[in-house]
Amino acid sequence: MKALLRPHESKLGRIAFCIIGFFILSIGLVQAQTIEELKADLEKLSQKPGYSKDTVYLNKANDLGFMLAESNPDSAFLFLDKQIEMCQKANYKKGESEALKIFGNALQNKGDFAASIEYYKKSLAIAQSMPDDRLLPGILNNIGLVYFNLGNYAEALGNFFEAIKGAEQTGNLNVEGAALNNIAMIYFEQGKLEEAKTKYQEMLVIYQKMGNQGRMILAYNNLGDVELKQNKPFEALEHLKIGHASALALQSPEFIEMTARTLADIYVALDSADKAENLYRQSIAIAKEKGYGVPYSHSLVGLAELYYVKGNYQEALLYANEGLEQANKMKQAMQQRNAHELLAKINEKKGDFQGALADYKLFKQYNDSINNARGQRLAATLEAEYEFSKKTLEFEKASLRQWWLIFSAFIGLFTFLIILFIVYRNRNKLNKAFLILKEKNVEIESKNEKLENALDQLRSTQLQLIQSEKMASLGELTAGIAHEIQNPLNFVNNFSEVSAELMQELKVERLKVEGKRSETVEEEIIGDVIQNLEKIHQHGKRADAIVKGMLEHSKTGKGEKILTDINSLTSECLRLSYHGFLAKDKNFKVDFRTEFDPGLPKINVVPQDLSRVFINIINNAFQAFSTPQPPEGGGNIPTVKVKTKVVKSPSGDLGVEIRVSDNGPGIPDAIKDKIFQPFFTTKPPGEGTGLGLSLSYDIVKAHGGEIKVNSKFGEGTEFLINLPYI
């Protein structure tokens, strides 16, 4: 039957299995553990001292990274970044090469082939630098798979053959079998069926030696696929019977579904409709339960075509529509094309000519798209072969050219002697020119020295200005601290004085004669003293917390990034900045508000550096109100607002956004583009160096983030700081 002898259908099933199944070679034989079990093992290993340099821990972490790359690539990227860094710090080259390769797997699973090949090449470079070359074949096989997906079959074949050569030298039968399978896929795609069959037979022999039942089933299935394409259904049937029986014995749903589907195609070709129907239903049941999208669609359309041949158009229409729906979900062009072709024939038989025409148009559209894609891949292959032939021809021409070069060398030698005489004659002239040039060089060096001195002076001036900016910032910070700590100290002093008076009253009460003393009064005084002492203790701890916070803030450290609560850091900077202005001007009245995202995670930053950024920007916001502006028609209350939230970049990366806004006079458009330039300031002379925002810009950039400003003159200003999760 024509519709079920389409070779591309079984080919896609095989390719999908190979891309998933053979990536297992990327890390070797991973133990059959779940992700949660691996995480539990790593948690236990991390309790040991120096675990980050323990190869047992690093290998186990690579196992987890591999499983994450296969199940959820997005979750694997951050984990693998840290894993690569740990392997580098431990100087564990093998683990670093494996981690880079797994990162490439995750990118390839996401469909980012260009990026994946870069990681594979980094992994390959490390593996090539190691004396043990057992890692090389697996990496070369993965690189070949990338080129295969990109349609560059010439490069793919080159890497697959190199992988086989390396696998034979190192005795890695698993990689050798995988590379043979991948070469056969390319031959199948190019219509070289005998070559594909030969490679599948070689692959079968290898897995028979290994006793790998699952890969033997795959080999039998693929051999049957090729033989069905060659119009040899009886030979295909023999291989698939073996494969299907083995799959049932192995109780593997994946292999049972795959072999049942291919067997059904063969029985259709042999006009055994009942057997084909049973096998299609077996494939459908497994694919539906396990969520195998493409096989599910394939078998539904195959079953629909069986009903169409039997003349049961209603059942055929039902299964064809269900198969089309599944193909649309998977965006599987092959099955979409086949379903629309069958629906066109069914609607034509049912007399729905308008529906038949609509389905035929869609069939034609998908068919043209598939043929165009095939044409492009074929063109890419032919172009690669042409480039290879051209390089071979150039090599042959280069060999012939060598004889002419030998002959030309003698003529060149004679010519050289003549030139040597001319050069000797002109040597005196060149010496004179050299002396002149030497004098010029001395003059240039003198000028360069002067320029370097001027540059050193400029750098010294810049350092002084930067120090001046830091001192100015320190002065504002000190004023804020003093004002912030004054409140708890006032409470301590007040409650101390009251407690002293109460103790004096208690002393007087105790001097009274026995009959006039009041125990109730004494108890009340003692209770009041205890309450005062509790208040003194409470405000003393408040002052202690402020001092400790400031000591932590003032630490210079080594600029190391630590997990920091951005909400807490911005809140602290906002209070200090406000109290700094209040200390300088008792009449300073500006409202400030916060809108902090409670779900904001801690991120890796240098808190000392980042607090300077926040204080600089918040100071600028308060500075906007330092000169009171008469409100127009009542106006708005001067307000500074600080807001945080989690954001997502256009590329999908998560980050933290901090917004500092005010409703002040705003920034004129004429100077908006200059505010981040070094030494640019709008403050009066002596009140600023113009380096605050410039340094803030550099600090944010050093954290991998960005800082922007939005301002409308007369309405207000807003600074936006975006920091990535690091």
Phi and psi angles of residue 496, each rounded to the nearest 5 degrees, phi first:
-65, -45
Q: What's the mean pLDDT when you consider all of the chain?
A: 80
pLDDT: which is higher, 187 or 636: 187
CA–chain centroid gap for 676, Å, is 30
Average the pLDDT over 524-545 and give the result. 79
Q: Answer whether 410's CB lies under 8 Å from 183's CB.
A: no
Give the Cα separation of 676 and 698 in Å (integer): 9
Does position 389 have pLDDT exceeding 60, yes or no?
Answer: no
Q: pLDDT by residue (tens digit) across 53-63?
A: 888 888 989 88
- What's the confidence (pLDDT) of residue 28? 37
Q: What pTM, to 2 d.p., does this model score? A: 0.47
| 163 three-state secondary structure | helix
Q: What is the rounded average pLDDT of the residues 173-180?
A: 90
Between 44-48, 189-193, 229-233, 455-459, the lowest mean confidence (pLDDT) is in 455-459
Q: Where in the chain is the domain with CATH 3.30.565.10?
A: 562-724
Give the CATH fold of the 31-132 domain. Answer: 1.25.40
- % residues pLDDT > 70 (the chain): 81
What pLDDT is recorded for position 470? 57
| Mean pLDDT within 472-498 | 67
The mean-pLDDT minimum among 49-53, 62-66, 534-538 falls in 534-538
What is the Cα–Cα distance from 168 to 174, expressed in whole angstroms? 10
pLDDT at 347: 86
pLDDT in tens, 418-460: 887 787 777 777 777 777 887 888 888 888 888 888 787 777 7
pLDDT at 558 over 60: no
pLDDT at 634: 45
Summarize pLDDT for 570-585 with one digit per residue, the tens.
998 998 888 888 877 8
- The answer to whether 625 touches 590, Cβ cutoff 8 Å, is yes
pLDDT above 60: residue 122: yes
204-218 pLDDT, tens per residue? 999 999 998 888 999
Backbone angles phi, psi at 28, to 5 degrees: 95, -155
Going by the DSSP 8-state scheme, the letter that residue 131 receives in this structure is S
SS3 state at 28 = coil
Contacts of 439 (CB under 8 A, 6+ apart): none
What dotted CATH number matches 562-724? 3.30.565.10
pLDDT of 492:
81
What's the pLDDT at 433?
A: 74
CA–CA–CA angle 482, 485, 491 (5° rounding): 135
Any idea what the Cα angle at residue 695 is, between residues 692 and 701, rounded to 5°?
140
Question: Which of 679, 675, 613, 612 is CA-nearest to residue 462?
Answer: 679
pLDDT band at 376 (very low <50, low <70, confident <90, very high): low
Flag whether pLDDT at 99 surpasses 70: yes
648-663: average pLDDT: 88
Pair 153, 381: CB distance under 8 Å: yes
List beta partners, residue 645.
Answer: 657
Q: What single-letter amino acid sits at 530?
A: I
**For residues 302 and 341, what is the distance between their CA atoms, to the nearest angstrom?**
12
Residue 378: pLDDT over 60: no
Distance CA(619)–CA(695), nearest Å, equals 14
Q: Please, which pLDDT band fits residue 643 given cuts at 50, 70 and 90?
A: very high
Q: What is the pLDDT of residue 7?
A: 30
Query: In the prediction, which pLDDT does 252 show?
Result: 84
Of 30-39, 304-313, 316-325, least confident by mean pLDDT is 30-39
Report how far residue 107's alpha carbon sits from residue 80's, in angstroms, rounded to the nearest whole number.
12
CATH 1.25.40.10 residue ranges of the chain are: 31-132
Nearest to 182 by CA among 20, 372, 389, 7: 20
Please, is 198 exposed, middle or buried when counting C-beta atoms within 10 Å of its C-beta (0-12, 13-18, 19+)?
A: middle
